Amino acid sequence: MKKFEIPIYYQSSIISRIKEIRNLNDPRKKDYSPTMLDFGPVRFFIARHFGFCYGVQNAIEIAYKTISENPDKRIFLLSEMIHNPGVNNDLQNMGVEFIMDTSGNQIIDWDEISNKDIVIIPAFGTTLEIEKKLNEKDINPYKYNTTCPFVEKVWNRSVSLGDEGSTVIIHGKYSHEETRATFSHSKESSPSLIVGDIKETDFLASVILNKRNKEEFYEYFKEKYSEGFNIEKHLIKIGVVNQTTMLAKETTEIASLLKQTMIEKYGIVKICEHFVDTRDTLCYATNDNQDATIELLCRNADFAIVVGGYNSSNTSHIVELCNEKLHTYFISSADKILDDININHFDLSIKEEITTDNYLPRKNKIDILLTSGASCPDAEVDRVLMKFLSMFDEVKPIDEVIQNLG
């Protein structure tokens, strides 16, 4: 795999050694079991796969190279480079400005940007409408394009579905930059509809089976379907793609439900005329990270720590998986671990950061599950690990523990 030039302050002195040992022992990545680090009073079970993925590293490399090579130019990002507060703050501290927020709301007016400026496309990609706007301002939208190759793969799959006469059903979060971009590209070649979860898919299935009328459909999926969407014409043949960072098992459930719905309506013999089986369009890193998390959860522990940006889709799905098994603390940085009594963490159910006290059990040996999202630097996981180790007496030296892994 390509080696990227990533700033040294994102690189890790601990996690990188662990990953190197695991990769040497398991070069084909077939072993999803976690790494166990026994420091005496505390043990960490660290997921096999986590941290910066290919698309994130590619985006960071392009952004930093662009900044380095253009010291006298104003540099803008369409929105956050990736969903990690530390990385985005670093870019802003280097003078990069964001044109929009993550929901697409304008921060800097387009009139303030000229063809003398540089505009970087973030890893999520962007819409055709914004590409057109950049072209109108004589700004090449492809020159500083960090769109993840796996996102572009989804766009290409959407086009092929359209070429086959299928309507594209997109499993994604409607407000997410990537889903907005995928929807924009998809609707150019085929009717398109966004479903956010299995509940919305169940509603769609009831429409396909004529259990709900078109007025109910248009109200329920308001702003989530392409212009001119006709349920009588455009729900006859369908195929499913997804936002690359969604929960894999939910995408599978959605595709299975829609396939079964088409079988119920048209019969098994004619299913190929009405449902296109698509290979999962989740990226490899999302799949690996989720599978590694599932394996991690086979270990008994007192609680789990998941590190990443609170608006990171792939990280939130890892948190959801962990929440099913044990107490999970979703933190954006080591600074959220206030001490051995209090921890600040993000509660997905209320979408707010809260403080929990007495989170650290008072016992002789504590077991902690540890992982992070695909947009979280390994250096931040290092800091989390070190923060916890500082709370215990007589911990074994890090070098000694890591050497025992080999």
Q: Give rounded-to-5 percent helix, strand, coil for the chain.
A: 40, 15, 40
Tokens of 378: 């390994």
Does 58 have pLDDT greater than 70? yes
Residue among 350, 356, 290 nearest 321 (CA):
290
Whether 34 and 43 have beta carbons less than 8 Å apart is answered as no
Q: What mean pLDDT comes out for the span 158-186?
A: 95
Active site residue 69: no
User: How far, in Å, CA of 114 to CA of 336, rounded?
Assistant: 40
Average pLDDT over residues 313-337: 97
- pLDDT (tens digit per residue) in 192-251: 999 999 999 999 999 999 999 999 999 999 999 999 999 999 999 999 999 999 998 999
Marked catalytic residue, from 177, 178, 200, 380: 178
Q: Which two tokens stand for residue 125?
A: 């990609």
**114 against 406, higher pLDDT:** 114
Which numeric CATH code is attached to 152-276?
Answer: 3.40.1010.20
- Compute and round to an integer the Cα radius of gyration of the chain: 23
pLDDT score of 406 more than 70 = no
What are the structural domain ranges in the chain?
8-53+284-403, 54-136, 152-276
Q: Which CATH architecture has domain 8-53+284-403?
A: 3-Layer(aba) Sandwich (3.40)
Q: Do 54-136 and 152-276 share a fold?
A: no
What pLDDT was estimated at residue 280? Answer: 66
The CATH number fitting domain 54-136, selected from 3.30.360.10, 3.20.20.220, 3.40.50.1220, 3.40.50.11270: 3.40.50.11270
Between strands 192-195 and 35-38, the pairing is unpaired
Question: Residue 9: its pLDDT value, please?
Answer: 93
Record the pTM. Answer: 0.92
> What is the C-alpha separation between 374 and 392, in angstroms, rounded?
29
What rounded mean pLDDT belongs to the chain?
95
- Whether the pLDDT of residue 1 is over 90: the answer is no
The model's pLDDT over 348-367, given as tens digits with 9 standing for 90+, comes to: 999 999 999 999 999 999 99
